[in-house]
Amino acid sequence: MKKIISIIMVVGLIAAIGVPAVSADSFNGGTATITYKEPDTYCVLIPETIDMTFDNYHFQALDMNLVEGDEVFVTIGGLIDEGYFPLTHENGVDTAKKKIYYDYSSVSSEKRELFPPYCVGYFTDGDTVSKTGFMMINDNESHFKAGNYTGTAEFTVELREKV
């Protein structure tokens, strides 16, 4: 008797597994389009501090995985006297200022016109080094007390989507 019950259960189980959820007659087939958009990811390196020796400084990125056409801009804030960067002597008293010079030599003039003000770094997809840079230059009449000068800046990092 047990043997018969076991056989009936096995046959029933096989029958249950074998029945498709959608019968062949009602299945029309077709394709599904799955769309997935990988979002932009980026990570920019900014200098810890600013000193007088910044010469042709180009920003670097640990990651710059952007949608084609998207761009990342880095601008510098905290400037005084229309484009000068303030620095403080290591004695904590004396101050100096250096003019920021923007190196846009590797981008077209049309592109430069679209840059935000005080743009010191410009990246497109895959760039590990910014296409633009900056340096600190002395005015002819500038004369500062000898020693080390440093200052801190606020860098603004912004991704702009392709228009």
Binding site for other proteins (CB under 8 A): 39-50, 57-60, 62, 72, 77, 152-159
CA distance 114 to 94: 37
Structure tokens, 133: 């840079």
- The CB-of-53 to other proteins minimum distance in angstroms stands at 8
Query: How many CA atoms lie within 13 Å of 18's alpha carbon, on the beta-carbon side?
Result: 6
- The CB-of-34 to other proteins minimum distance in angstroms stands at 21
Whose Cβ is closer to other proteins: residue 38's or residue 81's?
Answer: 38
Whose Cβ is closer to other proteins: residue 38's or residue 141's?
Answer: 38
Going from the C-alpha of 29 to that of each of 20, 32, 34, the distances in angstroms are 14, 10, 16
CA distance 24 to 19: 10
Whose Cβ is closer to other proteins: residue 6's or residue 41's?
Answer: 41
- The CB-of-42 to other proteins minimum distance in angstroms stands at 4
User: Strand pairing partners for 72?
Assistant: 123, 159
- The CB-of-152 to other proteins minimum distance in angstroms stands at 5
Whose Cβ is closer to other proteins: residue 58's or residue 99's?
Answer: 58
Count Cβ atoms within 10 A of the Cβ of residue 115 and give its class: 0-12 exposed, 13-18 middle, 19 or more buried.
middle
